[in-house]
Structure 1
Amino acid sequence: MPYASPGSGDVLVAPGYLAGTTGTDTVRPLLDGRTGWTQALVNFDVYYTSPCQRLRAVNSPLKGWTFTYAADPLGVPTWITTFDRGTPDEIVRAFTGTLTDGLDNYFRDHLSGGPRYTGHTPARLFAAHEWEPVPGPRPWRMLSPDGHAAFQIRTGHLEDHHELRDPTRAMWKITAGPDPVLPDAQNADEGGVQGADVV
């Protein structure tokens, strides 16, 4: 459901899964203006690569935004994050801004000892905002107070290539929709919106 963005500051929509997008791409201007970044158009998808070749982003009109980071520019990605087309603009823009701003020093400012390090785990941060654990089998989940967003984390070892090939096996995942705890396929059938997969 489109909403009118004030252009700056927080955009607060309740329930959160109705936030939708503004219909304009707020991320591409962040990447188009970055010094040294390259851009390529493949079919209808726009690919961006950072100057260090470690960070890549692709914008697909059908799928949304996908970001990958690899410690070795030619290696397998260390992590992948995807935001589907229904993810609110301010979430993708905030992620992109933090990611590109921290790339020059390999995110040291956000790691232990850095000036932007909070010491909070995602679960602790969600708990502070009254998210509740969801009883049941693993993966472990927390549900937002309004019941329309869920955070899940998997524990234990998972081979990187399995995780990267199958987004449903992501180590961290945030979903939003009328019933965000349902598996992705069933959730999509019932009108759910998958917000983000963080691997």
Structure 2
Amino acid sequence: MPDTEEIDGDVYVSPRHLAGSTFTGDPALKPLLALGFDLRHDDLGNVYVTAPDHHVRLGYLPEGDDDGLWRINAYRDRFGPPAWGVSFNDSAPTEFVTAFTTALAQAYAAGSDTYLAQPDLKDPELGAFDAVVPLIKNGWQFQHPRWGVMELQSPDGMATCEYTTGRLDPKKELTTLEARWHLWGGPKNGYARWYATATTNTPTALVKAITQSVSDPAPLPRWRDSMLPGLREAAQLTPVTPPAPPVPTPLDVQRSLTRRPPALGTRSVPRWSTATPPPALAAPRTAARR
């Protein structure tokens, strides 16, 4: 366990899909920046990160046109349309984004055959099943089947993963929630709901990085007062530092003194001895009468 001084929060939040955002993008950017990705800002405070070969681009867009805070795209042709796209909204736990960018950095380092690997076109549902295995292992349940949709739900019913089959509109996949993969969680009402989407050709290994992080049973640290009220009410919060035992009051001390048990009285206790006792004295003999 890390030292409590190193933990960025005063409570652990469980389940993690109710933790909410940390409101900082630095942890999710680090894996890509470590590979030499270029980072730039615009005048509004949006951040743009681009791979050295311009085949992977990330936008961190707090001042974007919608709530899609994170938009990550990969390109076969640097001047063509995206081969795949992944997005997270502004309420998504930052750890989910970091899990994805960490997997993306590893895939990028491995080469285009990895970060542009398409799912099995002959049996795409088989590849999709591999991405939902982490959910199943952590207790997520398949829901009532709907035509063309595979749906799983978390044990508490407050997070969902959907995989849609059939043909989808590539443009809508990149700009709406009508994507091949759609995950969301949080209270049904209010601004605390998060979502993540991934388009058809997103490599299965990258989608799996998201599902693994979302379903991980390990709690996430947060500052309680920074959490949205809906999340505080729905999640289980455990203090990072257990509360110290209460200091006894003078009255407590006085009571403890008056309740002392009485001292044990002394008494003799027979002991066994292995010493041989001295022989008994013989009684004097009397003369026999004649």
Normalising by the smaller structure, the TM-score range is: 0.7 to 0.9
The separation in 1 between residues aligned to 2:156 and 2:99, in whole angstroms, is: 23
Higher relative contact order at CA 8 Å, sep ≥6: structure 1 or structure 2? Answer: 2
Q: CA deviation at 1:175?
A: 0.5
User: For residue 14 of structure 1, what is the aligned residue in structure 2?
Assistant: 14
Q: Is 1:51 equivalent to 2:57 in the alignment?
A: no
Which residue of 87, 93, 97 maps to 2:98?
Answer: 93
1:74 match: 79
Code of the aligned partner of 1:193: R
Matched letter for residue 174 of structure 1: L
Question: Which residue of the partner structure matches residue 159 of structure 1?
Answer: 169
What secondary structure, in the 3-state scheme, does the structure 1 residue paired with 2:133 have?
A: helix
Structure with more of its chain in strand, by fraction:
1
What is aligned with 1:176? 185
Q: Hey, what does 2:141 align to over in structure 1?
A: 132
1:100-144 residue CA offsets vs partner (Å, 9 max, x unmatched): 1211312639979xxxxxx76123332222211222534331101
Q: Which has the higher helix share?
A: 2
In the alignment, the residues of structure 2 paired with residue 28 and residue 127 of structure 1 have an alpha-carbon distance, to the nearest angstrom, of 29
Q: Which blocks of at least 5 consecutive residues in structure 2 are unaligned?
A: 119-126, 200-290
Question: TM-score, structure 2 length as denominator?
Answer: 0.53
1:108 to 114, 118, 125: 114
Residues 131, 107 of structure 1: alpha-carbon distance in 2 compared, 3 angstrom cutoff: farther
Per the TM alignment, residue 160 of structure 1 is displaced from its structure 2 partner at its CA by: 1.6
Query: In the aligned structure 1, how far is the partner of 2:80 from the partner of 2:6?
Result: 39
Does residue 27 of structure 1 match 2:39? Answer: no
Q: Which runs of 5+ in 1 are unaligned?
A: 113-118, 180-188
